Every structure is written in C-alpha cells, then in structure tokens.
Amino acid sequence: MTIVLPAPWQQVLGIDHADPIPSALGDFLEAEERSGKVIYPPRDQWLAALDMTPPDQVRVVILGQDPYHGPGQAHGLAFSVQTGVKVPPSLVNIYKELESDLGIARPKHGNLAHWAKQGVLLLNNALTVEAGKAGSHQKRGWEQFTDAVIAAVAQQDAPCVFMLWGSHAQKKAARIAALETGGHLVLQAPHPSPLSAYTGFFGCRHFSQANAFLERRGRGAIDWRV
C-alpha cells in the first residue's frame, strides 16, 4: 500500500520515503479492502489534513478521535464534512460555541477547509474507519503516525494552540508539554458531542482564547468563519 506523505511533513517527521504508515497498518488496511469492506474517507483523502496544512503554517491543532463513519461524510479533516452533507451533531455544537464566543453566525454547511488553509490542523487520532463502525481502526497503527505528527508540531519553535476536546484528546496533553519548545497554549474541554457538550464544552471560549494568544505571539488571528 502506497500513501504519499507531503514533502514538508516528510522533512519534519524525519521520514525519508513517501509511505509513512507502519507496515502492519498497511497490511491491515489492504486486507480490509480486499475483503470488500468500505473504508472512510476514500484513500486519496486519508492525509488530507496534512496536505492542506503544511507544518510551518500550523497555528492551531484540533484533535479528533476518528473519521465519521457514515456515507459521504468523512473527507480527511477532523469534525468536517463535505459541503452539502448534513452537519453532524458534534459540529453543530462547535458552531454553537463559536457563535456564543465570537458572535459568528452558525454556518449552513460543515466544510472546515477554510480553517485548514489558515493553519488549523484538523487531525484525527486514527485516519480511517470502517463504514458504520465507529472506532474500528483504532489501535491498528494510526496512533503511532499521528502521535509523531503531534510531536513534530509541539517541537517547533513557533507557538501554537492545541485544542483538546474530550478525554481521548486530553491524553495527549502531557506528551505535548514534555516535548514543546515554542511556549504553546494547551486548551482542554469536554468533547462537543451531544453527550458531553453541556458539561463544559459550551462556554469554554477556546476560539477567542486561541486568537488572543496568537495575536500576542505575533502569529495573527484565525478567521473562524467558514
């Protein structure tokens, strides 16, 4: 299985070949495809977050768990769906907090590519999932790769904001703190899913905090409109 890692990420990850995924993960994904299982997102979008956000442009990292597992939803950016696809409940809640925090009207679509193109790395912990089975590709080897991506960002000198929503993402906080060299800002809150958003995600004001930090550090605010 060949997956081409963008050249700028090859450099910061210290990978001297195009295919970045562990061989065991590649074997697993090939076997899943051969068995006829549907995998989301499509293969050419597995690394979309890295394609869209080069390492030297990362200003914010938003870490998701794994891709959406419904038809036509996942396209390689955490929490994002293609224009025309119904906005999922977690993203609806993200938009509610964005409106409360910055007064930005809730968008009618769920495509977050505008964020990614400004340096918001929308990275899931596992980058694939079997159709209809949430979490089905966790602990198969993606975490080894995405941990390396997070470490590479944390070790850069340019200050970044890490938004860690939910216990799964918050497990990365200690690793970020141990590796960071740029004086990053780590923000933590409950996950924006309907099951937990009312326990502290709403009112966390992460978007305004991120922009205030980035402006203080000379990196410029994110335009959170989509």
Which residue in 66, 101, 147, 157 is the catalytic one? Answer: 66
Q: Quick check: is 66 catalytic?
A: yes
Residue 7 has a pLDDT of: 87
pTM for this entry: 0.95
Residue 45 has a pLDDT of: 95
In this prediction, the residues of the chain whose per-residue pLDDT falls under 50 are none
Residue 13 has a pLDDT of: 87
Residue 214 has a pLDDT of: 98
Best CA proximity match to 225, nearest among 204, 215, 213, 211: 211
Residue 16 has a pLDDT of: 61
Q: What are the angstrom distances between the C-alpha of 164 and each of 1, 68, 107, 125, 217?
A: 31, 18, 22, 12, 20
| φ, ψ (nearest 5 deg) of residue 130 | -80, 140
Residue 53 has a pLDDT of: 98
Residue 167 has a pLDDT of: 87
